[in-house]
Structure 1
Amino acid sequence: MLKFFSEEIDFKLPFPQKTSKWIKTISESEGYNIISLNYIFCTDDYLLEINKQYLDHDYYTDIITFDNSEEEGKIESDIYVSVDRVKENAETFGADFEVEMRRVLIHGLLHLMDYTDTSEELKLQMRAKEDECLLLF
């Protein structure tokens, strides 16, 4: 089950059904089954409080992924996305907002499928995988 919610912000994801199908297709192509995946769209301040409370980080971020999965190959997660930060990133990088939002959505999913970005090399691999996934939309 894949759902989209908003907290403290009036935001509706463009093309939610197409986005759901796209996310499911990517997870299945990587051998993962989505049991429960919630994307929660929120403000910078809302996500900052989550970052402080749960990760002890005092800075803004575009996404926080909580992996609640108990079995290999099964995805159960809550992914928080700052709409404010995605908008700012789109402006900074000269990207279309909807494309940047899809990049962030898929970034969270890739983390759940064991992709990491903890080094420069891994960041490049993650970016390449994001680009590959974006082409499938």
Structure 2
Amino acid sequence: MPTSHNLQIFNTTELALPISENTAFKLLEAIQKGEEILFESVEVAYVDEQEIVRINKEFLSRDYITDIISFRYDDDSYDNEGIEGTLYCCLPRIIEQADEFGEDKTTETYRILAHGLLHLCGYDDQTDSEKAKMTELENLYLSLILK
């Protein structure tokens, strides 16, 4: 897939990616504007179950499949003016989740992308209230791009 400014998307799976780069970039821009931050460089890598487990083990000491892992690289996590990061998204898991939640796979894929971008902005989801806040923001940003 070609690059859109500060967003690069790679699909290393054998599955068709159910989102468009143009709409993904609109999502990034909506979050950037709404959160008053600047994404300097974001890579999104769609991977299979084996690769997400490998990344999870190697970097987080966790041995299971997850839908997304976010890594932020820029030095100053208190300065949201030049966020750099990589989002590893497990496309088979996202599609499976869509079925579990009764959601279409395109919307679920954008939701997970929004979730990862919000993590790069500094949001966390360790508590019920943090999860609720992230879901509220995901819904807001999805409503702006999926009209």
- Tell me whether the two structures share a fold, i.e. TM-score over 0.5: yes
Give the distance between the partners of 2:132 and 2:47, measured in 1 at CA: 27
TM-score, reference length from structure 1: 0.93
Segment of structure 1 superposing worse, 25-34 or 78-87:
25-34
Partner of 2:9: 4
Q: Where does structure 1 differ by over 6 angstroms across 4 or more consecutive aligned residues?
A: none
* Cα deviations by residue, 1:60-93 (Å, 9 ceiling, x for unpaired): 1000001102241121001000001001100000
Considering only aligned residues, what root-mean-square deviation do their CA atoms show, in Å? 1.3
Alignment of 1:94-105 (within 5 A): 94-105=102-113
Partner of 1:18: 23
Gaps of 5+ in 1: none
Q: Which has the higher contact order (CA 8 A, sep 6+)?
A: 2
In 2, are the aligned partners of 1:2 and 1:37 still within 8 Å (CA)? Answer: yes
Among residues 21, 43, 49, which one is paired with 1:38 in the alignment? 43
SS in 2 for 1:38: strand
TM-score, reference length from structure 2: 0.87
In 2, are the aligned partners of 1:65 and 1:108 still within 8 Å (CA)? Answer: yes
Partner of 1:128: 136
Query: Taking every aligned residue pair, what percent have the same amino acid on both sides?
Result: 31
Matched, 1:62 2:67: yes
Give the distance between the partners of 2:38 and 2:21, measured in 1 at CA: 19
Segment of structure 1 superposing worse, 9-18 or 68-77:
9-18
Give the distance between the partners of 2:24 and 2:15, measured in 1 at CA: 19
